[in-house]
A and B are shown apart, each in its own frame.
Chain A
Amino acid sequence: MTGSDLIGIMILAAGLFAIGVFGVLARRGMLFQLVALEVALSGPALGFIAAGAYHADPEGQGMFILVLTLAATEVAVGLALFLRLRRLTGTDDSDAISGLKG
């Protein structure tokens, strides 16, 4: 793998992340925000793989597995929150829970 390859993959990863963040910011439905978060997470995961391949270091793959577990837990927590949200407010609008408002 050459340096130019790496840069290309990194741009792809950053694009994936940006799409994910955009999804989180743009959507109000919580389920879609969670999906967007998954997308956003896949960006850094791709970056780790690419960097590991470039340096011929297995740690990159290790970090990918970490990101996967992170995503799994995040989805679990997120879905639990989603259920709480539905129970409390009856909607899936994340703006309805603004208890942290200053």
Chain B
Amino acid sequence: MAHLLPFVPVPALLGFVILSLVPVPLSRAAVIALGVGAAVLPAILFFPVGLSCIEGVCVAGAVVPILSIDTGVFVAQIAMSMDPLSMVTGGTVVLVGALVLIYSGAYMASEPLPDLRRFFAVMNLFLAGMLAVVFAADVILLFLGWETIGLCSFMLIAFYDKLPKAVASGRKALITTRVADSFLLAGLMMLFLNAGTTRLDGMLAAVPGIDPWRLAPIAFLIALGALGKSAQFPFHTWLPSAMAGPTPVSALLHSATMVAAGVILLARLAPLFAAAPEISAMVAMLGILTAALGALVALIQTDVKKLLAFSTMSQIGFMVLALGLGAPAVALSHFAIHAVFKSLLFLSAGVMSHAAGGSTAIESLRGSRYRQPLAFWSFAVGAASLAGLPVITAGWYSKEAVLAAVWSSGPWGVPLWLLAATAAVLTGAYAFRVVFVAASQTADLAAPAWGGLAVVVPLTVLTLVAVIGGLSVGALIQFTGGATVHTPLLPTLLGAAAPILGVLLARQLVKHPQELEALAKRMRHVRIFRFEVLYYYYFVRRFRRVATVLGNAEGTEAVADAVALRREGVDVPGLVTDDPLGRGASQVRGIRTDLITRATDGQTPVVRMVAGDPVGRLLIVVARLFVGFFVARFNPDRIDRAWMGLAGGAGHAWALVRRTQTGRVRDHSLWIALGCAGLLLFAWGTSWR
């Protein structure tokens, strides 16, 4: 069944191609059928592959080659890997992807047709890209998928494109992840040049031979790239803003799959990080930092999608922590379980907020238990799994495995464990805060009918997996090559007590909301929580200033025209509103003149035209000065003066000579005679011997 593997992402890709590139009008039902079908087919195709895998076909390092690219000096092989890691992640992605797409068939059904088509097209492309990432056995396919999901993420966050905020959030996500991606690309390129192959297994095999002084920067760059995609600490700000997208997008991209791509990459390159312990330590520190901070910030959120976003950051922090401590199998099992319960949470939150009139504020979910019982209870199950309530939820098993890995990770294990356990307490608190609010009674019980099979099926399936999936965690860890760690009883018990403590805390916070507000107020003054603002001040604004100065749009033709029109009292709409680079109307009315503008003021338009762009303008100015220096020597042109003087003299001479022309026959005859006489004299003189 291995040969079926390369075809798993194909239906999704075809779905994208048909929906986006084929210029044929499709009906609403056809679009939904195509979009959903293209997402369900991969799951069906993957089923036999996964089945054969359980039978023992896939071992670590098994690959399915697809094609090879000859770049002249080097043959790059594109291949898909068929190992436990890709099977676990791939299985999770196709399952969650299919269910979320089924759900969005109902959720997005009321969108206008072109938007619907765009949504499904990009979702399908995303799914194909994600599958490329999880199945990739070489960095080319990996990076292809990696960037594709980044771009799709941008398109989907900016889906409600009439809201400027959505587009801005999309750009923020894309640019932030692109910064990280360029680190990743640098790391992968350096690794490639050192290992001499693009195949991941070949690269990992070459790791022991690489000089540690080179390996550490490589691992550092790759880790940064992975952390950026996973929204970990220094790069985390894009994830909460990404919630501007539709709920299914948040459910699939920004909780279950895309943000977990970093985890998958780190797990795949685990031997590389094992060889660079200092980088692993850094990864682990960033992971635990994000896990704890994310949980703390999630606690004070008032918007359920924002809360879930921070919760995603926090949970992925747990995975990254496990990876940094050298337990990739544990991280992967947590990834699979987290993907299930987090998408469940998002989907059910989407149903509940839909019933609450589209508002995603936590307060507006009040009474959901009576309006949407199915959604409420599945949300509750998801929250329980997120919190990791002992024994009955899947989340407990996987999180317990992470905690156990932390405990047994050497001298720093216990303090790290304490921090992680605190984060687990907070997780329980923020998860159940929403549950308690949603469970409470309100006066308004009018429930708009919304649901149907497309909602019930995904919610039910995900709920079931979120409950019974826990039983598979041990098998999952062993399957992906990890050993189950036996921890002492004490940390196990404490770990089990943490979520329960969290639930109690949540109860307390819901009963006394003023305490939460006080906490929120206090946290807002802590510098670390205002990271977004710092980013804005230190990076975004500076970049914009540089871009504005360099690319200064003032002085370009359009603006010059607008200014001219404005002077004449004609209103020029649009030109001065919404200047994204921060130059408002005032500058257009009174253009600020810089040195170069002043230097070239009153010059030919050719000089003035290179607005902004100081280097280009400098060149023109220098050229002008250079030319001017020489031209001044010849201005006025003296030879020209002489010629013009000659012409003037000729004019005067003419005025004199014309007097001799009387027009009288006699006078003319006289001149003729004198001429003849002169000629005769001349002839006589020359013939004189």
A residues with CB within 8 A of B = 21, 24-26, 28, 30, 33, 94-95, 97-102
Could you say which residues of chain B place their CB within 8 Å of the CB of A100? 661, 663, 668
Contact of A98 (CB < 8 Å), options: B659, B662, B669: B662
Contact A94 B663 (CB under 8 A): no
Which A residue's beta carbon lies closest to that of B661?
Answer: A102
Could you say which residues of chain B place their CB within 8 Å of the CB of A97? 663, 665
Tell me whether B522 is interfacial, beta carbon within 8 Å. Answer: no
Contact A25 B673 (CB under 8 A): yes
Contact B657 A102 (CB under 8 A): yes
B residues with CB within 8 A of A = 657-666, 668-670, 673
Which A residue's beta carbon lies closest to that of B655?
Answer: A102
Tell me how far the C-beta of A92 lies from the nearest C-beta in chain B, rounded to whole angstroms: 12
Contact B664 A94 (CB under 8 A): yes
CA distance A26 to B673 in the complex (A): 13
A/B pair count, beta carbons within 8 Å: 38
Could you say which residues of chain A place their CB within 8 Å of the CB of B658? 102
CA distance A24 to B659 in the complex (A): 22
Contact A95 B673 (CB under 8 A): no
Tell me how far the C-beta of A52 lies from the nearest C-beta in chain B, rounded to whole angstroms: 19
Contact of A94 (CB < 8 Å), options: B660, B661, B665: B665
Can you name 17 extra interface pairs (CB under 8 A) apart from A26-B666, A94-B664, A101-B663? A24-B666, A28-B666, A33-B665, A33-B666, A95-B665, A97-B663, A97-B665, A98-B663, A98-B664, A99-B663, A100-B663, A100-B668, A101-B661, A102-B658, A102-B659, A102-B661, A102-B663
Known contacts: A21-B673, A25-B673. The answer to whether A95 contacts B657 by CB under 8 A is no
Contact B659 A25 (CB under 8 A): no
Tell me how far the C-beta of B688 lies from the nearest C-beta in chain A, rounded to whole angstroms: 16
Could you say which residues of chain A place their CB within 8 Å of the CB of B663? 97-102
Tell me how far the C-beta of B668 lies from the nearest C-beta in chain A, rounded to whole angstroms: 8
CA distance A26 to B660 in the complex (A): 18
Which B residue's beta carbon lies closest to that of A18?
Answer: B673
Contact B669 A24 (CB under 8 A): yes
Contact B666 A101 (CB under 8 A): no
CA distance A98 to B666 in the complex (A): 10
Contact A25 B657 (CB under 8 A): no
CA distance A95 to B670 in the complex (A): 14
Could you say which residues of chain B place their CB within 8 Å of the CB of A101? 661-663
**What are 23 contact pairs spanning A and B, CB under 8 A?**
A24-B666, A24-B669, A25-B669, A26-B666, A28-B666, A33-B665, A94-B665, A95-B664, A95-B665, A95-B666, A97-B663, A99-B663, A100-B661, A101-B661, A101-B662, A101-B663, A102-B657, A102-B658, A102-B659, A102-B660, A102-B661, A102-B662, A102-B663
Contact B669 A21 (CB under 8 A): yes
Most interface-central of B660, B662, B673 (chain A CB within 10 A): B673
Tell me how far the C-beta of B661 lies from the nearest C-beta in chain A, rounded to whole angstroms: 3
Tell me how far the C-beta of B653 lies from the nearest C-beta in chain A, rounded to whole angstroms: 12
Could you say which residues of chain A place their CB within 8 Å of the CB of B666? 24-26, 28, 33, 94-95
Most interface-central of A28, A33, A100 (chain B CB within 10 A): A100
CA distance A26 to B657 in the complex (A): 24
Could you say which residues of chain B place their CB within 8 Å of the CB of A26? 666
CA distance A33 to B664 in the complex (A): 13
Could you say which residues of chain B place their CB within 8 Å of the CB of A21? 669, 673
CA distance A24 to B662 in the complex (A): 16
Contact A25 B660 (CB under 8 A): no
Which B residue's beta carbon lies closest to that of A27?
Answer: B666
Could you say which residues of chain B place their CB within 8 Å of the CB of A98? 662-664
Could you say which residues of chain A place their CB within 8 Å of the CB of B668? 100
CA distance A51 to B221 in the complex (A): 120
Tell me how far the C-beta of B683 lies from the nearest C-beta in chain A, rounded to whole angstroms: 14
CA distance A97 to B665 in the complex (A): 8
Tell me how far the C-beta of A10 lies from the nearest C-beta in chain B, rounded to whole angstroms: 12
CA distance A12 to B551 in the complex (A): 100
The 9 closest A-B pairs by CB, nearest first: A102-B661, A98-B663, A101-B663, A102-B658, A100-B663, A94-B665, A24-B669, A95-B664, A21-B673
CA distance A26 to B664 in the complex (A): 12
Could you say which residues of chain B place their CB within 8 Å of the CB of A95? 664-666
CA distance A97 to B661 in the complex (A): 13
Could you say which residues of chain A place their CB within 8 Å of the CB of B660? 102
Contact of A25 (CB < 8 Å), options: B661, B662, B670: B670
CA distance A3 to B559 in the complex (A): 100
CA distance A102 to B669 in the complex (A): 16
CA distance A28 to B667 in the complex (A): 11
Could you say which residues of chain A place their CB within 8 Å of the CB of B662? 98, 101-102
Which A residue's beta carbon lies closest to that of B668?
Answer: A100
Tell me how far the C-beta of A37 lies from the nearest C-beta in chain B, rounded to whole angstroms: 9
Tell me how far the C-beta of B405 lies from the nearest C-beta in chain A, rounded to whole angstroms: 118
Which B residue's beta carbon lies closest to that of A81?
Answer: B665
Most interface-central of B658, B661, B665 (chain A CB within 10 A): B665
CA distance A102 to B665 in the complex (A): 13
Could you say which residues of chain A place their CB within 8 Å of the CB of B657? 102
Tell me how far the C-beta of A27 lies from the nearest C-beta in chain B, rounded to whole angstroms: 8
CA distance A97 to B670 in the complex (A): 16
CA distance A25 to B665 in the complex (A): 8
Could you say which residues of chain B place their CB within 8 Å of the CB of A24? 666, 669
Could you say which residues of chain A place their CB within 8 Å of the CB of B670? 25
Could you say which residues of chain A place their CB within 8 Å of the CB of B661? 100-102
Which A residue's beta carbon lies closest to that of B657?
Answer: A102
Could you say which residues of chain A place their CB within 8 Å of the CB of B673? 21, 25
Tell me how far the C-beta of B183 lies from the nearest C-beta in chain A, rounded to whole angstroms: 92
Could you say which residues of chain A place their CB within 8 Å of the CB of B665? 30, 33, 94-95, 97
Tell me how far the C-beta of A89 lies from the nearest C-beta in chain B, rounded to whole angstroms: 13
Which A residue's beta carbon lies closest to that of B669?
Answer: A24
Which B residue's beta carbon lies closest to that of A101?
Answer: B663
Could you say which residues of chain B place their CB within 8 Å of the CB of A33? 665-666
Tell me how far the C-beta of B60 lies from the nearest C-beta in chain A, rounded to whole angstroms: 113
CA distance A24 to B668 in the complex (A): 10
Which B residue's beta carbon lies closest to that of A21?
Answer: B673
Tell me how far the C-beta of A32 lies from the nearest C-beta in chain B, rounded to whole angstroms: 11
Tell me how far the C-beta of B650 lies from the nearest C-beta in chain A, rounded to whole angstroms: 15
Which A residue's beta carbon lies closest to that of B680?
Answer: A14
CA distance A102 to B657 in the complex (A): 8
Could you say which residues of chain B place their CB within 8 Å of the CB of A102? 657-663
CA distance A24 to B667 in the complex (A): 10
Could you say which residues of chain B place their CB within 8 Å of the CB of A30? 665
CA distance A25 to B673 in the complex (A): 10
Tell me how far the C-beta of B44 lies from the nearest C-beta in chain A, rounded to whole angstroms: 109
Tell me how far the C-beta of B659 lies from the nearest C-beta in chain A, rounded to whole angstroms: 7
CA distance A97 to B673 in the complex (A): 20
